[in-house]
Amino acid sequence: MATDTEVDLTPRLKTDEMLINMGPQHPATHGVLRLILTLDGEIVRHTEPILGHLHRAQEWQGQNRTWFQYQALIDRVDYLSGMFTSWAMARAAEVVDGCEVPERAEYLRVMVSEMNRITSHLLWLGTYLIDLGAMFGFPFYPFREREKLLELFEEIAGQRMMFNYIRIGGVMRNPKDAWLSKLKRFTEEFPDRVDEYEAIVTQNPIFLKRTKGVGILRKELGMDYGITGPSIRASGVNLDLRRTKPYSVYPKLKFDVPLNDRDGDTFDRYIFRIREMRESNEIIKQCLDMLPQGEISGKKQIAGLRVKAGEGFAAVESPRGTLGCYIISNGSDRAYRIKWRNPSFCNLSILPELLKNHPIADVMAIFGSIDVILPDVDR
Amino acid sequence: MSETPAAKPPEEPKGLGLCGQFLKDHGIATTRLPDSCGVETIEIDGAHLEAAMKLLRGSSEIKLDYLVAISGVDSADTFDSVYQLWSYTNNNELIIKVRVKKTDVVEGQLPLVPSLARFWSAANWHERETYDLVGIRYYGHPYLRRILNVWDWDGHPLRRDYKQLVDALNDKASGSMR
Amino acid sequence: MRNGAEILKLGTLTLVWWCIIFGAVWAACYIVGILIPMALTSYESDAARMTAETCRALTPILSVLVFIPINAMFMVLFERRGLAIFTVRLGPNRVGPDGYLQTAADAVKLLFKEDITPRGADAFMFTLAPIVFFAPSIFGAMPLLAAVTNYHELFQIANLPTGIFFILAASSVPVVGIVMGGWASNNKYSLVGGLRSAAQAISYEIPLVLSLVTVCLMAGTLDVVQIAKQQSGGILNWNIFGGGALRGLDQAISLKFSSSAPALQELSKSSFEQVLKSVYLEPTAQALGLGAGQEGLAGIIAAFAVVLLIGSIWIAYGLYMTGACAEINRIPFDLPEAESELVSGYNTEYSGIKFAIFFLAEFTNLFIVASIAAVMFFGGGDCPVPAWLGTALGGPQIASVINQALTPLIEIKLVDPPTLFATIWVILKVYSIVFFAVLIRGTLPRFRIDQLMDFGWKRLIPLSLIVFVLVVYAREFVNVHVGT
Amino acid sequence: MIEGNAQGVNELADELKDTVTLTSLEKMIEAMGELLSPIVSPIANAARSNSVWPLTFGTSCCAIEMMSVGMSKFDISRFGSEVFRATPRQADMIITAGTITRKMAPALITLYEQMPEPKYVIAMGACTVTGGMFNDSYSVVQGVDRIIPVDIYLPGCPPRPEGILDALLKLQQKIRTESYAERKNKKYRQNAVRYVDYDTGRPLEDLIDEARYETALALDPLKGLQEKA
């Protein structure tokens, strides 16, 4: 019991942690992620991500649709890099089925998917700047180049975003010569555009202040959580399936995999994506030069498409990391079980660790920098 | 994973593979299953799973330190929990399956598999997802709660016997599209 | 070139809207301030005289009330079209001729929109907040009126001897409105936004005030009219160029141009060097107590002081703009709103007319800080062309032609040429600053709150103190505002 | 929430409903009744149709096309709609860009309820029109019109940005045909069509029905047996 002179002030001076519910509708959560943040002042102490607001049952659909139908659906798993989702499933099915893929188709696959990598990173760049508060101005420029690539996609696949271009056994359509020359022109002017972005962003003092030393991802922690893609390469782990587990015609192509020599922060993750765009551009150039003539599909694209019985796992290096597909087929016209290994799902799981003890403004800087696509998380 | 597919149909495996032998040396019994597309596949008893994982992850020669994915499969007579293991540093690959027979599962309860989440953070969300969709209960998991579906969802959608909910929001009976 | 055409269109739009704004304000002031009192003079009663006086007294506030909504409407459009140009777009161009009425449509829509007070909100405070936010921008603008209208008789009543002090006091009130709104909304994002706003306003008010104090110190007065008047006579006399530190240079050059200019007759006999000597060397030598033989030293010190003074004032201007951007929550200091963090910050729960008031006040505040900058640093209503250059370009002739053309209007007191020219120059200067703010909005990302605080307390405040001290010393050696 | 009581849904609707205060201008117009409506309608409609501010709401693929439409090539700002508001309180229109799942439905309903009148809905994309490619998935709502009233349906997977512009123009046409008084009096509060429980992802009516049935069963167990038979 406090005496009259000793007034106990503690209850009145008590500070409390505040719970903030961010999302599922929030401008910075890139769709429908919900974060429950425990704030101490403006410092995040604990984060609980709640996913599944876009759970569209892609795996369930895989069991219930024929292979041919399902091919059209999976572009929606990761709508910013539909080529990669198609490719991951096509590869898994090809591995299980044992069918050959013609070389021309492989080159076309590499070409369109590297184009897709560029569009994905461009969109990331635009939205990331929006996350950092540059609402007007800069975010519009990456979209300008993205539209050019989307036009090319539309010409070859018939859709701006949902391509359904890479099919089991090959690709859907042969590009015209005019298309190839348009793409060549794009690859020639694109590096200048990237220089333009870098001129605006990379030297911007506020951008540097917001990103340098923020959200440092330790190498060991990243490996523990199974982080993949540019995020882990920016922390110095050499994991690029195009090099470490080479597939398709990547062994024949010359390109660098940028690798950091220290634990990466948000700025590193930004700069690595910029570098990757340049590398992708180089890959497209080489593919255009090396593109052979020949067939484009090793399997008949008919509605009754079947995959032989068996099980297998195949993965491709998507813009966000290892995008894998585990297939169990019983030889019928639909899969027995399809399991997706989505890079966004795995990369997002580290978010609570990265956000710990950062101010609330950094939530956007960090969350944006690991480049998460919500349908890729929720499926 | 090599580009050339494995021969079909898969012939019966002869003896133990690299990882199976390694685990046997450390006193953990495994059964070799048919390779899935050239990747060594082993079955392991649930009780030894955590020890085996620790060994595989920690050893310097095998070093399977990259847990790619955990999938749940509702097979004909078992519930499988499938672990894809890769390595960050070398080209080793391994698929581990833990199988729970459907006849062993008590009526009204979920099949039990030990959780890896305590020592391998990557397993955390994968296990939650498998619990949500396939209904495998990972015991020892710190926060085993539905991750993709709403929290009070009924049933596990990727089970073969799952009955789809029909109500005013979604009244299309399953299969009508096909 | 596509962009060129767009810029031309923006220019036309600006001119048309300025005509509308001016027309409306001019008409309101003319009717209430001149026509009605003139009509009342025929009745010779006390009541009529009282009414006439009241009308004249009400003119300033009426002009502000007419000006603010129309001007804010235009500023929003200006910003949207300007941003569109920066981002390779067209901007609003469908409503009315070429989209001129876009923001008018927005305003009417907001007026007709449902007004929601959220459950759990403090209804009284919730309603009071936009008013507290908006009201200061009305009365805060008052003292500026006299300065920007070249001390027109109708607006003399609005002037205060402590003008800038009053404006600064008024400009720190809106933050109370923001905190109120943030707290009353019963929303955590609003609350965080409001608290951020309070912290930000307190930190950035100091460099803002210190930079303005520096100017006041140089001018020797707090009266904005006096400050504006001191700077008259062309760009070299403006405070941004040391507030008369270059006056000697100005006079010397004008001697070179024409020694028969009537205002400079007493100087016509002396040579170029002599003017410089009398303006710079002698006061410096006097201040330092230097003898006749040490003119070289005095010259060096004087030149150094002039450079120091001008440099300091430029820094002070930079500090002022930074502080002002933070005060009015514009990018890169828009933390209280922070769309990608706090949804919409303190105004998250506001809808309809209350939100419109917030919106209105935000842009009015931008206009006010820009006009303070125009008056304090850029000479208010002064023509930037120095007298000697103006004469060489035929300025007086042009002025007389315009005066002649306006004679009938001047006779019915509709137009007062000094006021007219002053307002035109002010509006040009203000909108140049506003354009700069729009450009910044299209370029920079947002600060983080702790970086913002660091930047404010560790960089801006020490810098503003240093500038203050430098100006105090430099002013000793330079003859600032000679003869005023 | 479920008290086995028929008023449950209405109570929830009341709970979600915000306190509404009319602006003085509206009060005046209301007092004038329907008389003023013909005069006010054209003004209000012209203003409303020309400044449709969308809510930043996007769940999946369509959201990217919604972003594209704001960007340089398509430029929705020409029609005065580039002011994407992050908070529903200041938005006029919600473009439901992307699949709505059972988990997302309660959030969408809340957002819709929070928007001030007049509010409009564009159902963008096949998923929000009918459920689209995912319409037999267990977790997907088959079209947003099952939970909120929709003004314009915009099919496509995803619709092209030109499609969004077309939908916007159609919406503007629709707004111009409205009568002010009608919008205000007859359908003043546009409530959600159906409420969804957050924890189970099921329509609230179903849950209430179930609860009522269970209460009835508890009171009269014989009835249950009869029904079973």
Residue in A51, A223, A339 nearest the CB of B88: A223
Look at strands A321-329 and A310-318 and give their pairing.
antiparallel
Residue of C nearest to D29 (CA): C112
The predicted pLDDT at position D7 comes to 56
Select from C410, C440, C356 the least CA-distant residue to C130: C356
Q: Is C2 on the interface with A (CB under 8 A)?
A: no
Residue of B nearest to D142 (CA): B170
Q: What residues in C contact A18, CB-CB < 8 Å?
A: 188
The predicted pLDDT at position A2 comes to 43
The predicted pLDDT at position B3 comes to 39
The predicted pLDDT at position B8 comes to 47
Phi, psi torsion values for C467, nearest 5 degrees: -60, -40
Residue in A72, A143, A160 nearest the CB of D160: A160
Q: What is the 3-state secondary structure (H, E, C) of C167-231?
A: HHHHHCCHHHHHHHHHHHCCCHHHHHHHHHHHHHHHHHHHHHHHHHHHHHHHHCCCCHHHHHHHC
Look at strands B112-114 and B137-139 and give their pairing.
parallel
Q: Please name the amino acid found at residue C473.
A: Y
* Torsion A60-A61-A64-A68 (CA) sign: negative
Confidence class for position D5, pLDDT limits 50, 70, 90: very low
Q: In a 3-state reduction of DSSP, which class is residue C362?
A: helix
Task: Express the helix, strand and coil content of chain B in percent, nearest 5 each.
Answer: 20, 25, 55
Contact (CB, 8 A) for A376 and C465: no
Look at strands B112-114 and B94-101 and give their pairing.
unpaired
User: Would you call C349 and D89 a contact, using CB atoms and an 8 Å cutoff?
Assistant: yes
Chains in contact with D, counting 3 or more C-beta pairs less than 8 Å apart as contact: A, B, C
At residue D36, does pLDDT exceed 60?
yes
Residue A196: partners with Cβ closer than 8 Å, 6 or more residues away: A141
Residue of D nearest to C346 (CA): D87
The token pair at B136 is 């495998």
Q: In a 3-state reduction of DSSP, which class is residue C178?
A: helix
Residue A353 to residues A41, A188, A221, A224, A349, Cα–Cα distance (Å): 19, 41, 9, 12, 8
Please give the Cα distance from A62 to A43 (Å, whole number): 42
At residue C484, does pLDDT exceed 50?
no
Mean pLDDT rounded to a whole number for chain C: 82
Cis omega (within 30 of 0) on the bond before C136? no
Cis omega (within 30 of 0) on the bond before C408? no
More confident residue, B13 or D142: D142
User: Would you call D141 and B170 a contact, using CB atoms and an 8 Å cutoff?
Assistant: yes
The predicted pLDDT at position D189 comes to 59
Summarize the confidence of residues B131-141 as an average pLDDT: 89
Please give the Cα distance from B150 to C484 (Å, whole number): 77
At residue D65, does pLDDT exceed 60?
yes
Q: Is C334 on the interface with A (CB under 8 A)?
A: yes
The predicted pLDDT at position A11 comes to 58
pLDDT tens-digit profile of C289-322? Answer: 766 667 777 777 777 888 888 888 889 999 999 8
pLDDT tens-digit profile of D185-205? Answer: 655 557 777 888 888 888 888
What is the least distance, in Å, from the CA of A92 to any CA of chain D? 23
The predicted pLDDT at position C482 comes to 47
The predicted pLDDT at position D215 comes to 83
pLDDT tens-digit profile of C419-443? Answer: 888 888 888 999 999 998 888 888 8
The token pair at B144 is 């085993």
Residue in C87, C338, C449 nearest the CB of A136: C87
Q: Please name the amino acid found at residue D210.
A: E
Q: What residues in D contact A80, CB-CB < 8 Å?
A: 64
Touch between chain C and chain B: 3 or more Cβ pairs under 8 Å: no
The predicted pLDDT at position C455 comes to 87
Q: Please name the amino acid found at residue D114.
A: Q
Please give the Cα distance from B176 to B52 (Å, whole number): 45
Residue C21 to residues C15, C18, C24, C71, C423, Cα–Cα distance (Å): 10, 5, 5, 6, 12
DSSP per-residue codes, A121-142: HHHHHHHHHHHTT--SSTTHHH
Q: In a 3-state reduction of DSSP, which class is residue A163?
A: coil
Domain boundaries, chain A: 58-355
Q: Describe the crossing of helices C417-441 and C295-327 by its angle, rounded to 10 degrees.
A: 70
pLDDT tens-digit profile of C217-276? Answer: 888 888 888 888 888 777 877 888 877 777 777 777 776 665 555 555 555 555 666 767
The yes or no reply on domain A58-355 and CATH 3.90.870.40 is no
Lowest mean pLDDT among A307-321, C22-36, C160-174, C338-352: C338-352
Q: In a 3-state reduction of DSSP, which class is residue A356?
A: coil
The predicted pLDDT at position D169 comes to 92
Select from A170, A163, A157, A175 the least CA-distant residue to A101: A170
Q: Is A135 on the interface with C (CB under 8 A)?
A: yes
At residue B2, does pLDDT exceed 50?
no
Q: Is C192 on the interface with A (CB under 8 A)?
A: yes
pTM, 2 dp: 0.86
Q: What residues in D contact A60, CB-CB < 8 Å?
A: 137-138
Q: Is A204 on the interface with C (CB under 8 A)?
A: yes
Q: Please name the amino acid found at residue A72.
A: A
More confident residue, D81 or B22: D81
Q: What residues in D contact B151, CB-CB < 8 Å?
A: 199
What is the least distance, in Å, from the CA of A273 to any CA of chain B? 21
Chains in contact with C, counting 3 or more C-beta pairs less than 8 Å apart as contact: A, D
DSSP D196: B
What is the least distance, in Å, from the CA of B171 to any CA of chain D? 8
Residue of A nearest to C79 (CA): A136
Please give the Cα distance from C354 to C136 (Å, whole number): 16
The token pair at C375 is 């008056």
At residue C413, does pLDDT exceed 80?
no
Domain boundaries, chain C: 113-477
Please give the Cα distance from C163 to A247 (Å, whole number): 75
Residue B108: partners with Cβ closer than 8 Å, 6 or more residues away: none
Q: What is the 3-state secondary structure (H, E, C) of chain D?
A: CCCCCCCHHHHHHHHHCCEEECCHHHHHHHHHHHHCHHHHHHHHHHHHHHCCCEECCECCHHHHHHHHHHCCCCCHHHHCCCCCECCHHHCCEEEEECCCECCCHHHHHHHHHHCCCCCEEEEECHHHHCCHHHCCCCCECCCHHHCCCCCEEECCCCCCHHHHHHHHHHHHHHHHCCCHHHHHHHCCCCCCCCCECCCCCCEHHHHHHHHHHHHHHHHCHHHHHHHHC
The predicted pLDDT at position D3 comes to 45
What is the least distance, in Å, from the CA of B43 to any CA of chain A? 15
The token pair at C209 is 């005030």
Please give the Cα distance from D223 to A333 (Å, whole number): 48
Mean pLDDT rounded to a whole number for chain B: 81
Select from C311, C282, C278, C279 the least CA-distant residue to C295: C282
ipTM of the complex: 0.86
User: Would you call A31 and D104 a contact, using CB atoms and an 8 Å cutoff?
Assistant: no
Q: Please name the amino acid found at residue A245.
A: K
How many residue pairs from chains A and C have C-beta atoms closer than 8 A? 89
User: Would you call A57 and D68 a contact, using CB atoms and an 8 Å cutoff?
Assistant: no
User: Would you call B169 and D142 a contact, using CB atoms and an 8 Å cutoff?
Assistant: yes
Q: What residues in D contact C81, CB-CB < 8 Å?
A: none
The token pair at A299 is 């399997």
Contact (CB, 8 A) for A320 and A18: no
The predicted pLDDT at position C415 comes to 80
Residue of B nearest to A63 (CA): B158
Q: What residues in B contact A66, CB-CB < 8 Å?
A: 178
DSSP C292: G
Please give the Cα distance from C272 to C280 (Å, whole number): 12
Q: Which of B150, B154, B159, B166 to mutate to test the interface with D (most CBs of D within 10 A)?
A: B150
pLDDT tens-digit profile of C365-394? Answer: 888 889 889 888 888 888 888 777 777 777
> What is the share, in percent, of chain D residues with pLDDT greater than 70?
80
User: Would you call D87 and C109 a contact, using CB atoms and an 8 Å cutoff?
Assistant: no
Q: Is A133 on the interface with C (CB under 8 A)?
A: yes
The tens place of each residue's pLDDT in chain A, 379 residues long, gives: 444 555 555 556 667 788 888 878 887 777 788 888 888 877 888 898 888 888 888 888 888 888 888 888 888 888 888 889 999 988 888 888 888 888 888 899 999 999 999 999 998 888 888 888 777 767 788 888 888 899 999 988 888 888 888 888 888 888 888 999 999 999 999 998 888 888 888 888 888 888 888 888 888 888 888 888 888 888 888 888 888 888 888 888 888 888 888 888 888 889 989 988 998 999 999 988 888 888 887 777 777 788 888 888 888 999 988 899 999 888 888 888 899 998 999 888 898 988 888 888 888 888 888 888 888 888 8
User: Would you call D71 and A143 a contact, using CB atoms and an 8 Å cutoff?
Assistant: yes
Q: Is A57 on the interface with D (CB under 8 A)?
A: yes
User: Would you call B1 and A57 a contact, using CB atoms and an 8 Å cutoff?
Assistant: no
| Helix H or strand E segment including B109 | none
Select from D94, D110, D117 the least CA-distant residue to D171: D94
The predicted pLDDT at position B107 comes to 82
| Helix H or strand E segment including B70 | strand B66-74
Q: What residues in D contact B135, CB-CB < 8 Å?
A: none
Q: Please name the amino acid found at residue D122.
A: I
The predicted pLDDT at position A119 comes to 92
Q: Is A292 on the interface with C (CB under 8 A)?
A: no
pLDDT tens-digit profile of C143-181? Answer: 888 888 877 777 777 788 888 888 888 888 888 888 898
Q: Is A79 on the interface with D (CB under 8 A)?
A: yes
